[in-house]
Amino acid sequence: MPELRQNRFTKEWVIMATERAKRPEELRVQREARPPLPQYSETCPFCPGNERLAPPAVLEIPSNENWQVRVVPNKFPALSREGPLTRKIERSRRSLNGIGIHDVIVETPDHALTTAFLPVEQVAEILRCYRRRYTEVSADPRIAHVTIFKNHGVAAGTSLEHPHAQLIGTPVISSQVRNRVYEALRHYDEFGECIFCEALIEDLEEPARVVLASELFVAVEPFASGSPFATYIYPRRHMASFGDINPAEIIDLAAVLKSVLAKLYVGLQNPDFNYAIRTAPHENAGVLYYHWYISVIPRLTRVAGFELGSGMFINTVLPEAAAEFLRNINPQGGGPVA
């Protein structure tokens, strides 16, 4: 019998289609073998020596040879960096001029690497750059919300192979983010607790959906997971904003993020994926009712008409089965595959 499950945080419903349930290994990506990437590409704007192909860096972490991590403005930004924000209201129509910040975080000088195979210290350096740019961009009075995300692979929407993430600071807060914050506030008003902290306690007491738990972070498959192997990484300490992460938490998160991505890489044969940091908007920093996290979404299935029409997802892999599968993957055993 299929089961409908309600997302505790957004109240959205998901259909767990156990009738057409797939075993996790059936979702391994079937595709033509791709040649391994070169360590350097002449035409890549993010490779060392090609810095002139990208706009001048806004942040650069030096290394002995050249640089370790670089943050550059996106050459083709979604929003424009300069100028004042102006709002327009015409009858029922609202608009703003497209002001915002669009950064690219170049995560390593090596064209061929991926987060799953970077040293933990390098991942920590990347997270430090995320945090630094998050704080700087959040301080811009024109910016209401900052989203940091990564697209890996064609199905996840990337056009460049070189390992990179992006940051977009927008002048408005989306209704999706607003609703998540409102739902968390409603829960807090009713029960006097952060629903994310509470869900974390429950998940650790009934650990069927826990992928891994470190000293400071926990990675879980959400109860009402909308897609196969969606994985959320929560800080154990209550924090509304990613900007509040401390140095010890950055190092711990680096190990957990690397480990989750390595398990997905080895278990599902280098799937395309997105991850995003879901933080409270700057104006809600420090609140007791919201709790930031990272959502990692492998792109194994396509969103189709039913999702489009109903806003409801159908998931063919139970999160408990996905968690068990990922728990049993030891990434140490596997190296990069094409």
Enumerate binding residues for Zn ion (CB under 5 A). Answer: 41, 44, 46-47, 111, 162, 194, 196-197, 238, 291
Please state the closest distance from residue 326 (CB atom) to Zn ion, in A: 24
Contact 149, 105 (CB under 8 A): no
Q: At its nearest, how many Å lie between Zn ion and the CB of residue 239? A: 7
Cβ of residue 48: shortest distance to Zn ion, in angstroms? 8
Is the Cβ of residue 136 or residue 249 nearer to Zn ion in the bound state? 249
Other beta carbons within 10 angstroms of residue 66's beta carbon come to: 12
Nearer to Zn ion, 44 or 218 (CB): 44
Rounded to 10 deg, the angle between the 120-138 and 247-268 helix axes is 120
Rounded CA-CA distance 130/283 in Å is 19
Q: In whole angstroms, give the CA distance from residue 18 to residue 326.
A: 19
Packing angle of the helix pair 175-191, 195-205 (nearest 10 deg)? 80
Of 41 and 301, which CB lies nearer to Zn ion in the complex structure? 41
Least distance (Å) between residue 110 CB and Zn ion:
8
When the beta carbons of 9 and 46 are compared against Zn ion, the nearer one is: 46
Residues 6+ apart with CB under 8 A from 4: 13, 14, 15, 16
CB 197, min distance to Zn ion, A: 3
Closest to Zn ion by CB, 184 or 329: 184
**Nearest alpha-carbon partner for 267 in 303, 234, 235, 296:** 296
